[in-house]
Chains A and B, each alone.
Chain A
Amino acid sequence: MADKLEANIRKISGGGIVAEHVPLPRPEAAVAPTIAKDHNTIKTALVPFACWRANDMRFEFESSFVLPEIQEEVGALKELIDRHTLTDSQGQPKHRPALTVFGHADPTGSDDFNKMLSGRRAQAIYGMLIRKVELWEDLYSNPLGNDKWEPKAIRIMQTTLGQPISEKPSASTRKTLFRAYMDHVCTIRDETGAPVVDGKGLPVQLELKSTDFLASGGDSGGKGDFQGCSEFNPILMFSQQENARFSDPKNKSERDKENASNRRVVIFLFRPGVRINAGAWPCPRAKEGVAACKKRFWSDAAKRRSFQEKRREFRDTRDTFACRFYHRLSSNSPCERGLVSFEIRLYDLMGRAIGQAPFELKVGLRKPIRGTASDDGSVIAQDLELPNRVLIDWGFPPEKDQKPDLVFNLDMFLTHENLTKEDEARQKLHNLGYPRTNRLSSNVEAFQSDHGHLANPPLSANGQLDDRTLELIRSVHQSCEDDLRNNPPTESGP
């Protein structure tokens, strides 16, 4: 999907992106020889050189709680920071790059609520990186809407750490628990999942200081260091038609999934030594309202924020961000370019979705991504380049202290939409469980005999890929969720 090389992408996982921006060369300064009191002012600019993004799937649904799988992205962040840390003559780290964290919500609900929610996710990430337990305690003890850490977040933390589950732990227990969990998810692991140890045999972790952030922790509310952008900077805006359909409460879950790419946390990294004065930073604190955000809006922000005739994506139209300041920081950033994402539902052999299914996803030659599906068994893989081959292994949620057994697997081909109808049928049938290794005509015939009754009049099993058959393959593939429920496959597997 990358139309031109815009950046050096270091790592893409289902959970996020780590990348370096391709620096725009500073244009030569055109100056005039001076007479009288004239002068030429030359100002330095604040330009990030790299970015990090954690996707929605790294957070508990509608919550600011960070899921354990984020450790993969944390590892990539450490690599990025280390690579750009300046060392002294003894090789000791001297100056780290400066960071600032932006949380983003999707364009549903009110601006004010989303401002708080996006700020809470930024706060969770910031707190985790500098081990500021009080910031997590604040999120825990002040729930916002569905962003409640009790009991699920507590349970996930205890399970992850192999501790006994206890409801409503005391403040002092929480303090220890949060710290241990932060350390756990910030521990760097090798391919096998074992902690990487340093020369002294201690596990290597990513732990930053408040002074590693852009405003050096100078403001008690974190101004300049972490902030929420509310729903002002979506990378995807629905068309009017889509929005109308999604406004129906019964389509809420579909809308939430479509909007997943908008819910993200982005960190920008600036060259070592760069620092700002919190007072002069345009973004309001994570806990402040939207007024200061609106001062930085594009003059045509209302248009940018409205649902238009066509669906718009930032990577194509570049007009979905309302905040000009954020747009300027991120316009050259691969983290906001938005690659392809898709959703996979994980089923058992009876066609029932497996909530919380453990999975391992392999995309092309990338390192496998491990994670846990949502309560309805769905996994959203983001930032994929096409065409690509995706392999997924999954299983049932393991018993306590047991390793997950990934008993199911499937491989899929993801491609652009403009395929020949044979290729399209081959791939869709493959995804539906008719292996690609079979002859297309036999798969078509098997499909016709399995699903032909759904068409009106029913299709005969003749192995011919005619328009009506292709139409049915498409609709079954699209709605395979409902279809699988009604017609559980018996032989071909999930």
Chain B
Amino acid sequence: MASHHVVEQGEYLALIALKHGFSSYLTLWDHPQNSELRKKRLNPNILFPGDRVFIPDKEEKEESGSTDKRHSFTFRGQRLNLCLVLENIYEQPIANAECKLKVESETFELTTDAKGKVEQEIKADAQRGLLSVKDPHTPINEIIIPIKIGHLDPVEEVSGQKARLNNLGYAAGPVEGEDEAENEERFLSAVEEFQCEHGLKVDGICGAATQAKLKQAHGC
């Protein structure tokens, strides 16, 4: 039976597809019933809690229906790409740095490229990871960054703005607020600081121009 899936925090389309037995998230993403969602979110991996994803009947799920695809579906072998770019405080890439990326039970030894980039295929249902980086320019410090895969909200949402500002080192406060006044101050300060460093009008309001710049600076 066709149904709707209501997105929860931390869910991205590949994960939702897997939960409903689809080997490719594109089956859902390209479905005409999901055209509104596609228009609204642009990126199937950046959804917002409460978003509704149309789940078609399984009959329509695979056009080709070949045995190979079935095989991969049964083993839930679909992989997902995770790409991280590491920068130091002055937006200089942390290049040629040794990293260890632990995702769920897998550990990958990686080295950043000249642009500070690491890329890794991970399991499509991965949620948690831990990245440790040895910056060759600060021989003593190992930077350890816990990561939550699929938890990035759209940039139009405050939670998505905070998460991007935090990733970019602006300390915008916890994404789910606790102590209100203090967190308001942190968010305001992070927005203004970001605007100031990116040549935007400094007004503390994370409007369309700031959102666009934030998305660009963050990379998604």
Q: Do A and B come from one complex?
A: yes
- A residues lining the B interface (CB < 8 Å): 24, 26-35, 38-47, 86, 94-95, 271-277, 280, 295-296, 298-299, 318, 324-325, 327-328, 331
Report if A26-B140 is in contact (Cβ < 8 Å); known contacts: A38-B43, A39-B220, A40-B167: no
Report if A280-B83 is in contact (Cβ < 8 Å); known contacts: A31-B147, A40-B218, A327-B189: no
Report if A44-B88 is in contact (Cβ < 8 Å); known contacts: A33-B14, A296-B196, A324-B196: yes
Which secondary structure dominates where chain A touches chain B?
loop
Once bound together, how far apart are the Cα atoms of A44 and B112, in whole Å? 15
Does B45 sit at the interface, judged by CB under 8 A? yes
Residues in A whose Cβ lies below 8 Å from that of B163: 29-30
Does B212 sit at the interface, judged by CB under 8 A? no
**8 Å CB contact of A32 from B87, B152, B170:** B152
Residues in B whose Cβ lies below 8 Å from that of A30: 147-148, 151-153, 163, 166-167, 175
Residues in B whose Cβ lies below 8 Å from that of A328: 171, 189, 193
Residues in B whose Cβ lies below 8 Å from that of A46: 89, 169
Residues in B whose Cβ lies below 8 Å from that of A28: 146-148, 151
**Is A42's CB under 8 angstroms from B150's CB?**
no
Report if A273-B138 is in contact (Cβ < 8 Å); known contacts: A27-B174, A40-B152, A41-B167: yes
Does B180 sit at the interface, judged by CB under 8 A? no
**8 Å CB contact of A43 from B12, B167, B185, B203:** B167
**8 Å CB contact of A42 from B44, B45, B85, B170:** B85
**Is A271's CB under 8 angstroms from B141's CB?**
yes
**Contact size class for B?**
35 or more
Which residues of B (174-196) have their CB < 8 Å from a CB of A?
Answer: 174-175, 185, 189, 192-193, 196
Q: How far is the CB of B87 from chain A (nearest CB, A)?
A: 4
**8 Å CB contact of B86 from A27, A35, A42, A274:** A42
Report if A26-B89 is in contact (Cβ < 8 Å); known contacts: A33-B12, A33-B81, A40-B83: no
| A27, A47, A95, A324 interface centre (most CB from chain B within 10 Å) | A27
Residues in A whose Cβ lies below 8 Å from that of B207: none
Residues in A whose Cβ lies below 8 Å from that of B14: 33
Once bound together, how far apart are the Cα atoms of A44 and B14, in whole Å? 29
Once bound together, how far apart are the Cα atoms of A393 and B203, in whole Å? 53
Residues in B whose Cβ lies below 8 Å from that of A295: 196
Residues in A whose Cβ lies below 8 Å from that of B126: 33
CB-defined A-B contacts under 8 Å, sample of 19: A30-B166, A30-B175, A31-B84, A31-B150, A33-B150, A34-B45, A35-B43, A39-B117, A39-B220, A42-B145, A43-B86, A43-B89, A44-B135, A44-B169, A272-B140, A296-B196, A299-B202, A324-B196, A331-B189
- Closest residue on chain A to residue B220 by CB atoms: A38
Once bound together, how far apart are the Cα atoms of A46 and B175, in whole Å? 20
